[in-house]
Protein backbone atom coordinates (compact mmCIF):
# COMPACT_ATOMS: atom_id res chain seq x y z
CA UNK A 1 0.00 0.00 0.00
CA UNK A 2 1.18 3.57 -0.62
CA UNK A 3 2.40 5.70 2.26
CA UNK A 4 0.85 9.01 3.31
CA UNK A 5 3.92 10.71 1.88
CA UNK A 6 3.31 9.05 -1.49
CA UNK A 7 -0.26 10.30 -1.49
CA UNK A 8 0.72 13.84 -0.56
CA UNK A 9 3.38 13.98 -3.25
CA UNK A 10 0.93 12.65 -5.84
CA UNK A 11 -1.64 15.29 -4.90
CA UNK A 12 0.71 18.24 -4.51
CA UNK A 13 0.55 19.41 -8.11
CA UNK A 14 -2.96 18.23 -8.68
CA UNK A 15 -5.00 19.65 -5.82
CA UNK A 16 -3.46 23.12 -6.19
CA UNK A 17 -3.26 23.32 -9.98
CA UNK A 18 -5.92 24.92 -12.14
CA UNK A 19 -5.70 24.17 -15.82
CA UNK A 20 -5.50 27.10 -18.19
CA UNK A 21 -6.71 25.51 -21.43
CA UNK A 22 -4.14 25.45 -24.17
CA UNK A 23 -4.83 27.72 -27.12
CA UNK A 24 -2.57 25.67 -29.40
CA UNK A 25 -4.17 24.65 -32.66
CA UNK A 26 -1.45 22.44 -34.08
CA UNK A 27 -2.47 20.11 -36.88
CA UNK A 28 -2.74 16.60 -35.45
CA UNK A 29 -0.93 15.33 -38.53
CA UNK A 30 2.21 16.97 -37.14
CA UNK A 31 2.32 14.43 -34.31
CA UNK A 32 3.38 10.82 -34.76
CA UNK A 33 0.40 8.51 -34.16
CA UNK A 34 0.54 5.95 -31.35
CA UNK A 35 1.51 2.43 -32.33
CA UNK A 36 -1.39 0.10 -33.13
CA UNK A 37 -2.60 -1.79 -30.04
CA UNK A 38 -1.36 -5.33 -29.63
CA UNK A 39 -4.60 -6.55 -28.02
CA UNK A 40 -8.06 -5.16 -28.82
CA UNK A 41 -10.12 -7.88 -27.15
CA UNK A 42 -11.20 -5.60 -24.28
CA UNK A 43 -11.96 -2.57 -26.44
CA UNK A 44 -15.55 -1.43 -25.94
CA UNK A 45 -16.18 -3.74 -23.01
CA UNK A 46 -18.87 -2.60 -20.53
CA UNK A 47 -20.13 0.41 -22.49
CA UNK A 48 -21.83 -1.17 -25.48
CA UNK A 49 -25.27 0.25 -24.77
CA UNK A 50 -23.87 3.71 -25.54
CA UNK A 51 -21.87 2.54 -28.53
CA UNK A 52 -24.86 0.65 -29.91
CA UNK A 53 -27.04 3.76 -29.72
CA UNK A 54 -24.37 5.67 -31.60
CA UNK A 55 -23.67 3.02 -34.22
CA UNK A 56 -27.29 2.14 -34.97
CA UNK A 57 -28.43 5.73 -35.44
CA UNK A 58 -29.69 6.32 -38.96
CA UNK A 59 -31.05 9.26 -40.93
CA UNK A 60 -34.52 7.86 -40.17
CA UNK A 61 -33.84 7.44 -36.43
CA UNK A 62 -31.40 9.62 -34.54
CA UNK A 63 -30.74 8.11 -31.11
CA UNK A 64 -30.25 10.64 -28.33
CA UNK A 65 -26.96 10.01 -26.48
CA UNK A 66 -25.62 12.04 -23.53
CA UNK A 67 -21.91 11.80 -22.74
CA UNK A 68 -20.28 13.47 -19.74
CA UNK A 69 -16.55 14.05 -19.31
CA UNK A 70 -15.82 14.39 -15.60
CA UNK A 71 -12.77 14.89 -13.42
CA UNK A 72 -10.36 17.70 -12.68
CA UNK A 73 -7.90 19.78 -14.71
CA UNK A 74 -6.52 16.91 -16.80
CA UNK A 75 -10.04 16.12 -18.02
CA UNK A 76 -10.83 19.81 -18.36
CA UNK A 77 -8.19 20.41 -21.04
CA UNK A 78 -9.16 21.17 -24.60
CA UNK A 79 -8.16 17.68 -25.83
CA UNK A 80 -11.61 16.31 -25.03
CA UNK A 81 -13.00 18.30 -27.96
CA UNK A 82 -10.96 16.04 -30.24
CA UNK A 83 -12.79 13.02 -28.83
CA UNK A 84 -16.15 14.77 -29.13
CA UNK A 85 -15.43 15.76 -32.75
CA UNK A 86 -14.29 12.22 -33.56
CA UNK A 87 -17.55 10.76 -32.21
CA UNK A 88 -19.63 13.26 -34.17
CA UNK A 89 -17.68 12.42 -37.30
CA UNK A 90 -17.89 8.65 -36.91
CA UNK A 91 -21.55 8.67 -35.85
CA UNK A 92 -23.10 11.56 -37.78
CA UNK A 93 -26.66 10.31 -37.35
CA UNK A 94 -26.53 10.20 -33.56
CA UNK A 95 -28.18 13.05 -31.65
CA UNK A 96 -25.13 13.69 -29.46
CA UNK A 97 -25.03 15.86 -26.36
CA UNK A 98 -21.45 15.96 -25.03
CA UNK A 99 -20.65 17.93 -21.88
CA UNK A 100 -17.51 18.50 -19.82
CA UNK A 101 -18.06 19.45 -16.18
CA UNK A 102 -14.53 18.89 -14.92
CA UNK A 103 -13.18 21.29 -12.27
CA UNK A 104 -9.46 22.04 -12.10
CA UNK A 105 -7.76 21.17 -8.81
CA UNK A 106 -10.72 19.19 -7.47
CA UNK A 107 -9.20 15.88 -6.38
CA UNK A 108 -11.50 12.96 -5.68
CA UNK A 109 -12.07 13.89 -2.01
CA UNK A 110 -13.51 17.21 -3.21
CA UNK A 111 -15.01 16.21 -6.53
CA UNK A 112 -17.14 13.44 -5.04
CA UNK A 113 -19.04 16.13 -3.15
CA UNK A 114 -19.72 18.30 -6.22
CA UNK A 115 -20.89 15.27 -8.22
CA UNK A 116 -24.17 15.68 -6.32
CA UNK A 117 -24.89 18.62 -8.63
CA UNK A 118 -22.94 17.68 -11.75
CA UNK A 119 -23.50 13.98 -12.43
CA UNK A 120 -26.58 12.40 -10.87
CA UNK A 121 -29.21 14.97 -11.96
CA UNK A 122 -27.66 15.11 -15.46
CA UNK A 123 -28.06 11.31 -15.73
CA UNK A 124 -25.85 10.73 -18.80
CA UNK A 125 -25.65 7.57 -20.89
CA UNK A 126 -21.87 7.47 -20.53
CA UNK A 127 -19.39 9.04 -18.11
CA UNK A 128 -15.74 9.29 -19.25
CA UNK A 129 -13.87 9.70 -15.97
CA UNK A 130 -10.42 10.49 -14.63
CA UNK A 131 -9.37 12.07 -11.36
CA UNK A 132 -6.46 12.04 -8.92
CA UNK A 133 -6.77 11.98 -5.14
CA UNK A 134 -7.87 9.60 -2.42
CA UNK A 135 -8.74 6.20 -3.85
CA UNK A 136 -11.49 5.78 -1.23
CA UNK A 137 -13.37 8.83 -2.49
CA UNK A 138 -12.69 7.80 -6.08
CA UNK A 139 -14.44 4.50 -5.42
CA UNK A 140 -17.28 6.24 -3.58
CA UNK A 141 -17.95 8.43 -6.61
CA UNK A 142 -17.94 5.48 -9.02
CA UNK A 143 -20.20 3.45 -6.73
CA UNK A 144 -22.64 6.35 -6.40
CA UNK A 145 -22.86 6.82 -10.16
CA UNK A 146 -23.74 3.12 -10.44
CA UNK A 147 -26.22 3.42 -7.57
CA UNK A 148 -28.05 6.53 -8.73
CA UNK A 149 -27.93 6.33 -12.52
CA UNK A 150 -27.97 3.71 -15.25
CA UNK A 151 -25.00 5.44 -16.91
CA UNK A 152 -22.14 3.40 -18.25
CA UNK A 153 -18.73 4.51 -16.98
CA UNK A 154 -15.33 4.52 -18.66
CA UNK A 155 -12.34 4.84 -16.33
CA UNK A 156 -9.05 5.91 -17.86
CA UNK A 157 -5.64 5.81 -16.25
CA UNK A 158 -2.93 8.34 -15.41
CA UNK A 159 -0.34 9.51 -17.91
CA UNK A 160 3.30 10.16 -16.95
CA UNK A 161 4.40 13.23 -15.02
CA UNK A 162 7.45 15.34 -15.86
CA UNK A 163 9.54 13.89 -13.04
CA UNK A 164 9.28 10.26 -14.10
CA UNK A 165 12.48 8.79 -15.51
CA UNK A 166 13.74 5.55 -16.96
CA UNK A 167 15.25 3.03 -14.58
CA UNK A 168 18.52 1.19 -15.22
CA UNK A 169 16.69 -1.28 -17.45
CA UNK A 170 15.35 1.54 -19.63
CA UNK A 171 11.79 1.15 -18.34
CA UNK A 172 9.35 3.67 -16.84
CA UNK A 173 8.63 1.81 -13.62
CA UNK A 174 5.54 2.56 -11.54
CA UNK A 175 6.39 3.37 -7.94
CA UNK A 176 4.65 4.41 -4.74
CA UNK A 177 1.19 5.88 -5.20
CA UNK A 178 1.40 5.52 -8.97
CA UNK A 179 2.05 1.81 -8.59
CA UNK A 180 -0.88 1.44 -6.21
CA UNK A 181 -3.29 3.24 -8.54
CA UNK A 182 -2.08 1.15 -11.48
CA UNK A 183 -3.61 -1.80 -9.67
CA UNK A 184 -6.54 -0.02 -8.03
CA UNK A 185 -8.05 1.45 -11.20
CA UNK A 186 -8.53 -1.77 -13.21
CA UNK A 187 -9.76 -3.52 -10.06
CA UNK A 188 -12.34 -0.78 -9.49
CA UNK A 189 -13.45 -0.94 -13.12
CA UNK A 190 -13.95 -4.69 -12.78
CA UNK A 191 -15.76 -4.38 -9.43
CA UNK A 192 -18.31 -1.87 -10.77
CA UNK A 193 -18.58 -3.19 -14.36
CA UNK A 194 -16.97 -0.10 -15.84
CA UNK A 195 -15.12 0.27 -19.09
CA UNK A 196 -11.37 0.56 -18.64
CA UNK A 197 -8.98 2.40 -20.95
CA UNK A 198 -5.27 2.09 -20.32
CA UNK A 199 -3.46 5.35 -21.03
CA UNK A 200 -0.29 4.97 -18.98
CA UNK A 201 1.27 1.94 -20.65
CA UNK A 202 0.80 3.07 -24.27
CA UNK A 203 2.02 6.53 -23.15
CA UNK A 204 5.26 4.94 -21.97
CA UNK A 205 5.57 3.09 -25.26
CA UNK A 206 4.93 6.28 -27.22
CA UNK A 207 7.72 8.10 -25.42
CA UNK A 208 10.21 5.31 -26.05
CA UNK A 209 9.30 4.75 -29.70
CA UNK A 210 9.48 8.45 -30.51
CA UNK A 211 12.60 9.14 -28.40
CA UNK A 212 10.79 11.62 -26.17
CA UNK A 213 11.05 12.46 -22.50
CA UNK A 214 7.88 12.97 -20.40
CA UNK A 215 8.15 16.82 -20.41
CA UNK A 216 7.81 16.80 -24.22
CA UNK A 217 4.09 16.02 -23.83
CA UNK A 218 3.46 18.40 -20.92
CA UNK A 219 3.01 22.13 -20.43
CA UNK A 220 4.17 21.95 -16.80
CA UNK A 221 4.82 19.17 -14.32
CA UNK A 222 1.60 17.28 -15.08
CA UNK A 223 -0.79 18.99 -17.51
CA UNK A 224 -0.64 17.80 -21.13
CA UNK A 225 0.33 20.26 -23.82
CA UNK A 226 -1.30 20.04 -27.25
CA UNK A 227 0.85 17.05 -28.19
CA UNK A 228 -0.08 15.27 -24.96
CA UNK A 229 -3.73 16.14 -25.45
CA UNK A 230 -3.56 14.68 -28.93
CA UNK A 231 -2.17 11.43 -27.50
CA UNK A 232 -4.85 11.16 -24.78
CA UNK A 233 -7.56 11.72 -27.38
CA UNK A 234 -6.08 9.12 -29.72
CA UNK A 235 -5.80 6.50 -26.98
CA UNK A 236 -9.36 7.12 -25.79
CA UNK A 237 -11.21 7.36 -29.07
CA UNK A 238 -9.68 4.22 -30.54
CA UNK A 239 -11.38 2.27 -27.76
CA UNK A 240 -14.77 3.97 -28.10
CA UNK A 241 -15.89 1.37 -30.62
CA UNK A 242 -19.04 -0.55 -31.48
CA UNK A 243 -18.70 -4.25 -30.65
CA UNK A 244 -21.96 -6.09 -31.41
CA UNK A 245 -20.21 -9.36 -30.51
CA UNK A 246 -20.11 -8.21 -26.87
CA UNK A 247 -23.83 -7.57 -26.54
CA UNK A 248 -24.81 -5.09 -23.83
CA UNK A 249 -22.92 -7.01 -21.14
CA UNK A 250 -23.64 -5.64 -17.65
CA UNK A 251 -25.83 -2.91 -19.17
CA UNK A 252 -28.36 -5.47 -20.35
CA UNK A 253 -31.77 -4.61 -18.90
CA UNK A 254 -30.73 -1.34 -17.26
CA UNK A 255 -32.79 0.65 -19.77
CA UNK A 256 -36.04 -0.87 -21.01
CA UNK A 257 -38.51 0.48 -23.52
CA UNK A 258 -42.16 -0.58 -23.42
CA UNK A 259 -44.04 0.05 -26.66
CA UNK A 260 -47.61 1.18 -26.13
CA UNK A 261 -50.03 -1.21 -27.78
CA UNK A 262 -47.53 -4.07 -27.69
CA UNK A 263 -45.82 -4.28 -24.31
CA UNK A 264 -48.29 -2.17 -22.36
CA UNK A 265 -51.91 -1.24 -23.04
CA UNK A 266 -54.35 1.57 -22.39
CA UNK A 267 -57.53 0.44 -20.64
CA UNK A 268 -60.40 2.88 -20.14
CA UNK A 269 -58.03 5.82 -20.42
CA UNK A 270 -55.50 4.40 -17.96
CA UNK A 271 -52.08 2.90 -18.62
CA UNK A 272 -50.30 1.10 -15.77
CA UNK A 273 -46.76 -0.24 -15.91
CA UNK A 274 -44.96 -1.96 -13.03
CA UNK A 275 -41.23 -1.40 -13.36
CA UNK A 276 -37.91 -1.49 -11.53
CA UNK A 277 -35.77 1.66 -11.54
CA UNK A 278 -35.55 5.37 -10.67
CA UNK A 279 -36.38 7.20 -13.89
CA UNK A 280 -39.24 7.17 -16.41
CA UNK A 281 -39.30 8.82 -19.84
CA UNK A 282 -42.21 9.11 -22.25
CA UNK A 283 -41.65 9.03 -26.00
CA UNK A 284 -44.40 10.61 -28.11
CA UNK A 285 -45.87 9.04 -31.21
CA UNK A 286 -45.08 10.78 -34.45
CA UNK A 287 -47.92 9.44 -36.56
CA UNK A 288 -51.69 9.57 -36.87
CA UNK A 289 -53.35 6.87 -34.80
CA UNK A 290 -56.31 4.72 -35.84
CA UNK A 291 -58.78 7.32 -34.53
CA UNK A 292 -57.32 10.03 -36.77
CA UNK A 293 -55.71 11.81 -33.83
CA UNK A 294 -52.55 13.61 -34.89
CA UNK A 295 -50.27 14.85 -32.11
CA UNK A 296 -49.04 17.64 -34.38
CA UNK A 297 -52.50 19.21 -34.04
CA UNK A 298 -52.69 21.18 -30.76
CA UNK A 299 -56.41 20.45 -30.45
CA UNK A 300 -55.62 16.72 -30.34
CA UNK A 301 -52.90 17.00 -27.70
CA UNK A 302 -54.28 16.68 -24.17
CA UNK A 303 -52.42 16.57 -20.88
CA UNK A 304 -51.89 13.13 -19.39
CA UNK A 305 -51.81 12.88 -15.60
CA UNK A 306 -48.71 11.12 -14.22
CA UNK A 307 -48.46 9.14 -11.00
CA UNK A 308 -45.68 7.01 -9.50
CA UNK A 309 -47.06 4.59 -6.91
CA UNK A 310 -50.18 6.72 -6.76
CA UNK A 311 -48.26 9.93 -6.03
CA UNK A 312 -47.48 12.93 -8.16
CA UNK A 313 -43.78 12.84 -9.10
CA UNK A 314 -43.43 16.26 -7.44
CA UNK A 315 -44.21 14.58 -4.11
CA UNK A 316 -40.89 12.67 -4.18
CA UNK A 317 -38.04 14.65 -2.64
CA UNK A 318 -35.56 12.79 -4.82
CA UNK A 319 -37.15 14.31 -7.92
CA UNK A 320 -35.57 17.66 -7.05
CA UNK A 321 -31.95 18.73 -7.36
CA UNK A 322 -29.85 21.76 -6.53
CA UNK A 323 -27.69 23.01 -9.38
CA UNK A 324 -23.97 23.58 -8.85
CA UNK A 325 -23.57 26.71 -6.68
CA UNK A 326 -21.78 29.74 -8.08
CA UNK A 327 -18.10 30.46 -7.50
CA UNK A 328 -16.76 30.96 -4.01
CA UNK A 329 -14.91 34.09 -2.98
CA UNK A 330 -11.16 34.02 -3.58
CA UNK A 331 -11.14 30.66 -5.30
CA UNK A 332 -12.56 28.71 -8.21
CA UNK A 333 -15.33 26.17 -8.31
CA UNK A 334 -18.53 26.31 -6.29
CA UNK A 335 -18.60 28.28 -3.04
CA UNK A 336 -20.46 25.37 -1.42
CA UNK A 337 -19.43 22.01 -2.79
CA UNK A 338 -22.57 20.11 -1.84
CA UNK A 339 -25.97 21.57 -1.04
CA UNK A 340 -28.68 19.08 -0.10
CA UNK A 341 -32.04 19.15 1.68
CA UNK A 342 -33.94 17.41 4.46
CA UNK A 343 -37.44 18.46 3.46
CA UNK A 344 -39.11 18.32 0.06
CA UNK A 345 -37.91 21.39 -1.86
CA UNK A 346 -39.69 23.86 -4.09
CA UNK A 347 -38.62 24.82 -7.58
CA UNK A 348 -36.95 28.16 -6.89
CA UNK A 349 -33.77 30.24 -6.91
CA UNK A 350 -31.52 30.34 -3.84
CA UNK A 351 -28.75 32.50 -2.52
CA UNK A 352 -26.54 32.52 0.55
CA UNK A 353 -25.53 36.08 1.47
CA UNK A 354 -22.59 36.80 3.78
CA UNK A 355 -23.71 39.04 6.65
CA UNK A 356 -20.55 39.11 8.83
CA UNK A 357 -16.89 38.16 8.47
CA UNK A 358 -14.38 37.65 11.28
CA UNK A 359 -10.87 38.47 10.03
CA UNK A 360 -9.19 36.66 12.92
CA UNK A 361 -11.00 33.33 12.62
CA UNK A 362 -11.95 33.54 8.91
CA UNK A 363 -15.46 32.47 9.96
CA UNK A 364 -18.43 34.14 8.29
CA UNK A 365 -22.10 34.39 9.08
CA UNK A 366 -24.70 34.16 6.35
CA UNK A 367 -28.40 34.17 5.54
CA UNK A 368 -30.14 31.70 3.20
CA UNK A 369 -32.88 33.17 1.00
CA UNK A 370 -35.18 31.35 -1.44
CA UNK A 371 -37.19 33.07 -4.15
CA UNK A 372 -40.30 31.16 -3.00
CA UNK A 373 -39.36 30.22 0.56
CA UNK A 374 -38.08 33.68 1.51
CA UNK A 375 -35.61 34.25 4.34
CA UNK A 376 -34.84 30.75 5.61
CA UNK A 377 -32.49 31.21 8.53
CA UNK A 378 -28.98 32.27 9.42
CA UNK A 379 -25.87 30.17 9.88
CA UNK A 380 -22.16 30.28 10.57
CA UNK A 381 -19.54 28.71 8.31
CA UNK A 382 -17.93 26.76 11.16
CA UNK A 383 -21.11 24.78 11.88
CA UNK A 384 -23.38 22.49 9.85
CA UNK A 385 -26.35 24.46 8.52
CA UNK A 386 -29.94 23.33 8.09
CA UNK A 387 -32.32 26.06 6.96
CA UNK A 388 -35.57 26.65 8.78
CA UNK A 389 -37.57 24.92 6.07
CA UNK A 390 -35.08 22.06 5.72
CA UNK A 391 -34.73 22.87 2.02
CA UNK A 392 -31.06 23.82 2.32
CA UNK A 393 -28.37 21.79 4.07
CA UNK A 394 -24.66 22.74 3.92
CA UNK A 395 -22.13 20.84 6.02
CA UNK A 396 -19.14 22.43 7.69
CA UNK A 397 -17.89 19.07 8.96
CA UNK A 398 -17.54 16.36 6.32
CA UNK A 399 -15.69 13.10 6.86
CA UNK A 400 -14.82 11.70 3.44
CA UNK A 401 -13.96 8.00 3.42
CA UNK A 402 -10.31 7.48 4.25
CA UNK A 403 -9.20 11.14 4.47
CA UNK A 404 -9.26 13.90 7.13
CA UNK A 405 -12.35 15.94 7.90
CA UNK A 406 -13.23 18.71 5.46
CA UNK A 407 -15.83 21.44 4.99
CA UNK A 408 -18.22 21.85 2.09
CA UNK A 409 -17.57 25.60 2.11
CA UNK A 410 -15.00 26.83 -0.41
CA UNK A 411 -14.45 30.49 0.42
CA UNK A 412 -11.06 32.14 0.90
CA UNK A 413 -9.58 35.51 1.72
CA UNK A 414 -11.36 38.45 3.32
CA UNK A 415 -14.96 37.84 2.30
CA UNK A 416 -16.91 41.07 1.88
CA UNK A 417 -20.27 41.44 3.56
CA UNK A 418 -22.94 41.00 0.91
CA UNK A 419 -21.02 38.38 -1.10
CA UNK A 420 -23.49 35.86 -2.51
CA UNK A 421 -23.44 32.27 -3.64
CA UNK A 422 -26.36 31.39 -5.90
CA UNK A 423 -27.98 28.23 -7.22
CA UNK A 424 -31.34 26.91 -8.36
CA UNK A 425 -33.58 24.09 -7.21
CA UNK A 426 -34.89 22.30 -10.28
CA UNK A 427 -37.61 19.71 -10.64
CA UNK A 428 -36.85 16.48 -12.48
CA UNK A 429 -40.51 15.64 -13.00
CA UNK A 430 -43.75 16.42 -14.77
CA UNK A 431 -46.99 15.81 -12.88
CA UNK A 432 -48.82 16.08 -16.16
CA UNK A 433 -47.49 15.42 -19.63
CA UNK A 434 -48.59 17.02 -22.85
CA UNK A 435 -47.14 15.25 -25.89
CA UNK A 436 -45.05 17.77 -27.81
CA UNK A 437 -45.68 18.88 -31.35
CA UNK A 438 -43.54 16.49 -33.41
CA UNK A 439 -42.24 18.16 -36.54
CA UNK A 440 -39.12 16.03 -36.99
CA UNK A 441 -40.17 12.39 -36.95
CA UNK A 442 -36.58 11.13 -37.07
CA UNK A 443 -35.95 12.20 -33.47
CA UNK A 444 -37.35 10.80 -30.24
CA UNK A 445 -38.45 13.92 -28.33
CA UNK A 446 -38.32 11.92 -25.09
CA UNK A 447 -39.47 13.67 -21.93
CA UNK A 448 -38.41 12.66 -18.41
CA UNK A 449 -41.57 12.61 -16.30
CA UNK A 450 -39.90 11.40 -13.10
CA UNK A 451 -36.28 10.95 -12.05
CA UNK A 452 -34.51 10.49 -8.72
CA UNK A 453 -37.17 8.64 -6.72
CA UNK A 454 -35.81 5.58 -4.85
CA UNK A 455 -34.34 2.92 -7.09
CA UNK A 456 -36.62 -0.11 -6.78
CA UNK A 457 -39.98 -1.55 -7.75
CA UNK A 458 -42.69 0.97 -8.64
CA UNK A 459 -45.77 1.45 -10.82
CA UNK A 460 -46.23 4.34 -13.20
CA UNK A 461 -49.83 5.23 -13.98
CA UNK A 462 -50.85 7.48 -16.86
CA UNK A 463 -54.40 8.78 -17.04
CA UNK A 464 -55.69 10.45 -20.19
CA UNK A 465 -58.72 12.72 -20.43
CA UNK A 466 -62.03 11.03 -21.34
CA UNK A 467 -62.36 9.98 -24.98
CA UNK A 468 -58.81 11.08 -25.76
CA UNK A 469 -56.10 8.78 -27.04
CA UNK A 470 -52.74 9.90 -25.65
CA UNK A 471 -50.10 10.22 -28.33
CA UNK A 472 -47.43 8.19 -26.54
CA UNK A 473 -45.38 5.67 -28.48
CA UNK A 474 -43.37 4.17 -25.63
CA UNK A 475 -42.45 4.29 -21.96
CA UNK A 476 -38.74 4.02 -21.17
CA UNK A 477 -37.48 3.15 -17.69
CA UNK A 478 -33.97 3.31 -16.25
CA UNK A 479 -32.64 1.06 -13.50
CA UNK A 480 -29.28 1.72 -11.80
CA UNK A 481 -27.34 -1.55 -11.40
CA UNK A 482 -26.58 -1.11 -7.67
CA UNK A 483 -29.14 -1.09 -4.88
CA UNK A 484 -29.53 2.15 -2.90
Task: Give, in order, the Cα–Cα distances in Å from 367 to each of 354, 381, 415, 417.
Answer: 7, 11, 14, 11
**Phi, psi dihedral angles at 461 (to 5 degrees):** -125, 125
105: left (phi over 0), alpha (psi -120 to 50) or beta: left
Residue 164 CA to residue 32 CA, distance in Å, equals 22
Reported confidence tier of residue 329, pLDDT bands at 50, 70, 90: very high
Predicted confidence at residue 285, as pLDDT, reads: 87
Q: How far apart are CA 362 and CA 411, in angstroms?
A: 9
Tell me the per-residue pLDDT of 149-174, one tens digit each, with 9 for 90 and over.
999 999 999 999 999 999 999 999 99
At residue 7 the predicted structure's pLDDT band, cuts being 50, 70 and 90, is very low
* Ramachandran class of 227: left when φ > 0, alpha when ψ lies in -120 to 50, beta otherwise: alpha
**Tens digit of each residue's pLDDT (9 = 90 or more) over 371-386:** 999 999 999 999 999 9
Which of residues 442 and 3 earns the better pLDDT score? 442
- Minimum mean pLDDT range among 49-58, 179-188, 274-283, 429-438: 429-438
- 4-251: which CATH number, 2.60.40.10, 3.40.50.1110, 3.30.450.40, 3.40.33.10? 3.40.50.1110
Helix H, strand E, coil C: the string for 60-97 is: CEECEEEEEEEECHHHHCCCHHHHHHHHHHHCCCCEEE
Long-range contacts for 246-251 (Cβ within 8 Å, ≥24 apart)? 246/44, 246/45, 246/48, 247/48, 248/48, 248/49, 248/52, 249/45, 249/46, 249/48, 249/193, 250/46, 250/193, 250/481, 251/46, 251/47, 251/48, 251/49, 251/150, 251/152
Domain ranges of the chain: 4-251, 256-316+429-478, 326-413
CA distances from 464 to 71, 287, 307, 315, 471 (A): 44, 18, 12, 20, 10
The sign one gets for the Cα dihedral 379, 385, 391, 392 is positive
Condensed to tens digits (0 to 9), the pLDDT of residues 68-78 reads 999 999 999 99
Q: Residue 305: name the closest of 279, 270, 278, 275 by CA.
A: 270
* Cα gap 182→421, rounded to integer Å: 39
pLDDT of 301 over the 70 cut: no
- In order of 45, 459, 474, the CA distances from 469 in angstroms are 42, 21, 14
Query: Average pLDDT of 408-413?
Result: 97
In whole angstroms, what is the distance from residue 351 CA to residue 355 CA? 12
Asked whether the whole model's pTM tops 0.75, one would answer yes
Position 231 confidence tier, pLDDT thresholds 50, 70, 90? very high
- Average pLDDT over the chain, rounded to an integer: 91
> Tell me: domain 256-316+429-478, CATH 3.20.20, correct?
no
Contact 321, 451 (CB under 8 A): no
Q: What is the mean pLDDT of residues 272-288?
A: 89
Q: State the pLDDT confidence band at 437, using cuts at 50, 70 and 90.
A: confident
pLDDT higher than 60, residue 470: no
Phi-psi region of 383 (alpha: psi -120 to 50; beta: other; left: phi over 0): beta
Q: Which residue would you say has higher pLDDT here, 425 or 6?
A: 425
Which residue(s) pair with 461 in the sheet?
272, 307
In the predicted model, is pLDDT for residue 334 greater than 50? yes
Three-class SS state of 336:
strand
Confidence of residue 6 (pLDDT cuts 50, 70, 90): very low
**Higher pLDDT, residue 8 or 270:** 270
- Does the structure show a pLDDT above 90 at 128? yes
- In 229-317, DSSP assigns E strands to 255-259, 266-267, 270-284, 304-308
Burial 76-86 (b: 16+ CB within 10 A, else e): bbbbbebbbeb
pLDDT at 29: 87
**Residue 205 DSSP SS3:** helix
Model confidence band, residue 302 (pLDDT cutoffs 50, 70, 90): confident
Residue 10 has pLDDT above 50, yes or no: no
CA-based angle 424:427:430, to the nearest 5?
155
Amino acid sequence: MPTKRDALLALLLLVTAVLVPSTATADDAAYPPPAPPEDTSKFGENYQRTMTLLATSTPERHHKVKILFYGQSITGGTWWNRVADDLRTRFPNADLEITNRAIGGFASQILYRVAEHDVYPYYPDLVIFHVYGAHTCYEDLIATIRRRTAAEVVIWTDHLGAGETLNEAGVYEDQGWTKFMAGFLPATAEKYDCGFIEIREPWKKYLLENHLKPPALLKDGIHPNDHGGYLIAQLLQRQLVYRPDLGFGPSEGLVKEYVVGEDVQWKDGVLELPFDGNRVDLIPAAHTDDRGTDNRNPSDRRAVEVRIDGKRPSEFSGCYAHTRPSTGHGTWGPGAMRVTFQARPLVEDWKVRVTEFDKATKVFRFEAIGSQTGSDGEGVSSEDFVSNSGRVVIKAHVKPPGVPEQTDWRMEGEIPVGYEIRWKTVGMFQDSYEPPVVTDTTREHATTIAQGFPNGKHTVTLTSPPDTTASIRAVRVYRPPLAP
